[in-house]
Amino acid sequence: MRTLSVANDIVPIAEFKTNIASWFKKLQQSDHPLIITQNSKPAGVLLSPAEYDALVYRKSFLDSVGRGLEDLSAGRLSSTTELKQELAQRRSMQ
């Protein structure tokens, strides 16, 4: 995600509704999020589908790393040999 441009990436909701098609086109071309305001306060953020997917993937990855670090701290570790043995055992059960 690129840096937010205050001059170009913040729009009041009335202006957004009036020119919605052009704002969607701009969103796709700029790869910037669009901040929509209501009563001069941020009310929502509009992202392109690609940017949303990237954020979801990034969060999933970071959550997975966090769980791994928690396992490390709690001593829930397996050696490569132990892991291979467990996988072989699970395969033989199928």
pLDDT along the chain (94 residues), means of 10: 70 94 89 91 92 94 96 91 93 89
Contact 55, 47 (CB under 8 A): yes
Q: Domain for residue 1, yes or no?
A: no
Rounded Cα distance, 61 and 1, in Å: 17
H/E element holding 18?
Answer: helix 13-18
Q: What's the pLDDT at 19?
A: 93
Residues 33 and 57 placed together within one structural domain of the fold: no
Phi/psi of residue 5, nearest 5 degrees: -105, 110
H/E element holding 58?
Answer: helix 49-74
What domain range is 38 assigned to? 10-47
Residues 87 and 56 placed together within one structural domain of the fold: yes
Residues 24 and 35 placed together within one structural domain of the fold: yes
Residues 42 and 63 placed together within one structural domain of the fold: no
Could you tell me the pTM of the whole model? 0.67
Q: Domain for residue 3, yes or no?
A: no
Q: Domain for residue 2, yes or no?
A: no
Rounded Cα distance, 83 and 23, in Å: 51
